[in-house]
Amino acid sequence: MKKFLLYFIPLLTLAIFIAVMNSGAFLKQPLGNDDRLYESIQHIEAGVKNKDWSEVKAEAATMEKAWDKIVRRIQFSVEKEQLLEIDGTIARIRGGVEAEDDQSVLEEIYYYYGQWEQLAR
């Protein structure tokens, strides 16, 4: 029994660490109604194309709340640089929305789409 525990506990610990570190692709997906980041970005894109800035500003607040929830889930399974890069992109989207600059918002949205695809690969 003692020998079994001697091998079992380290192997179980390693298995848990491997599962956590490889779970980023799963954990970045929405798990509820308030963490739908990708959908929020798509709504912002549609609103910018239609020049509906009041809807876009409301959706930008939702986007930031969703990102805060997702970051907590994936922080151990993705690289810190990726998180900081997406965080910067979201901040630039928010700034473009406040300035009502459709060109910069759309640039950052399409840059975000590329980052999202690369996240947790």
Q: In this structure, is the dihedral angle defined by the CA atoms of residues 107, 30, 67 and 18, taken in order, positive or negative?
A: negative
pLDDT tens digits, one per residue of 6-31? 899 999 999 999 998 888 888 889 99
Domain ranges of the chain: 2-118
pLDDT tens digits, one per residue of 67-106? 999 999 999 999 999 999 999 999 999 999 999 999 999 9
What whole-number distance in Å separates Cα of residue 38 and Cα of residue 119? 12
Query: Is the CATH number of domain 2-118 1.10.3470?
Result: no
Which pTM value belongs to this model? 0.86
